[in-house]
A and B are shown apart, each in its own frame.
Chain A
Amino acid sequence: MNSETTEKKGVWRVVQREVARMLSQPVYVFCMVVAPLIGFLFFTTLMGKGLPMDIPVGVVDEDNTSITRQVLRNLDAFQQTAIVKQYANFGEAREAMQQGKIYAFYYIPEGTTELALSSKQPTVSFYTNAAYLIPASLEYRDMKTMAELASGAIARETLYAKGYADSQVMGILQPIKMEMHAISNPGLNYSQYLSNILLPAMLMLLIFQVTIYSIHSEVKEGTSKHWLELADNNIYKALAGKLLPQLLVWMVMGATYLVLLYAYWDFPLKSGLWPMALASLLLIVVSQAFGVFLCEALPSLRWALSIATLWGVLSFPISGFSFPQIAFPAPLKALSYLFPLRHYYLIYVDQALNGLPLHYSWVNYAALLVFLALPLLFPNRLKKCLLEYQYTR
């Protein structure tokens, strides 16, 4: 009975001590509050409404007839492209592209109109700068739509004149038509596509690092023995007392990104808020657990931090949210499952985008729980390190 009361007191005292530590070193306030907030605001404001508007595009109109000018006016009407300049020849336009003034240009060779009028099907070329992939692929879409519309318009008139019925006209112009449905992101919103993973990923990286720093810096500063003593020399109590106040701050940050993504930007959340809230909470505690695990495995501040950083930074590409995992080389495909963010991403696709019941993602929840159990592997190594280890640079 008596020991139980001291135990409770033990954890509580470690909590108090930890809060004091967090407030006394500016690095904690920076990495736990300022940095995540800057990151969240950065990504959610950078991409604005989710699609770039008025990407500057150039034109080389060597033909320069009323018809080519009409075609160009049509192009300018698209929201995503803005024709900013006419260039005299191909070389000038290419140079402007190399200088980054335009992301693409149309090239209308001399004689285009004449060939078109005499039904000889001239070619108008559209050059994009694919070194900048996103604007290039968006412009490609605009160009495709424009080409369909412009060509269709002329042909449609002719067919009506020939007495074809409405239903027949499209059947002649485009007998088989593709109708694309982008499940849960019909507008191809890039901000939705990227922010949903970038925000939690950044938080995860910071949690890895702060957890390790807060544990191993005790060894470095020579305060680790005192910390353990306050926790009755029990490593579990010591860790609980240290990580609980941090967890609270991380949860507030997690809630912040959830609000930003799903309330402010109103990104799809097909299965409702709770599954994603659960996934975020899991990601947060798993990140802490992963940090503790690294502290146990690597009894040196520098090594634990370096490996955590490697894992955290690599999480971004290897989770497969931008470049899909099925295109990785086989070893990296397998490796990707050792990254908690990969599982978070798969849960996000299942639940926020596809609105599936929880059991579809059970493998990923199970995987996250395995990560959560990692610190149970060798807690005594950490204890020994806290008691005996000497800081080396």
Chain B
Amino acid sequence: MAIINQATKELQVKIVYYGPAMGGKTTNLVQVHDHVQTAAGNKGKLVSLATSSDRTLFFDFLPIEAMSIKGFKTKFQLYTVPGQVIYNTTRQLVLRGVDGIVFVADSQYEKMPENVESFSNLDENLKSLKLNLSDVPYVLQYNKRDLPNVAPVEYMEFLLNNRDVQAPSFSSVAHKCEGVFETLNMITRMLLHKFVSQATPQYA
């Protein structure tokens, strides 16, 4: 859960990009890092713990600060997880303390089983941390919409977004930065509204 420091008026929030291997999680962070508009010093370095072939080994990490929120210095820490099935322990470690999740699905038809498996793995890993998908705000991103062999969005919604309460979903082409900021803005808005609705004003 987020760290709220009333002494320094700081709110720190952790968002994890989750999804199957090669789906575009790291590309999302790279695009945010390259294109986000910030006041000087509000954007941290993008740190990638990756293999020599640029596959995420542990996580990618990008700290950024939202400019438009008054009252609290609101710091967002964006993480990715490694998508390959074998790195499940690592995914569990990165999920620790998560506040919000962006699930990055690969829109190609042949990747649907991997999307479904990864989403189910997310659910299991959250349960191992005593969390539940219905309690953690999350957003779905259907990436790689520019490829020729993509599944219809309706089909992906049926596969990944058919719970009682539907999550917001976005189509994206992450390497062109399309849909990246829309997704990030939605998950941050959901998080902030969740915190405020939980908050009990001191002088109420």
Are A and B subunits of one complex?
no
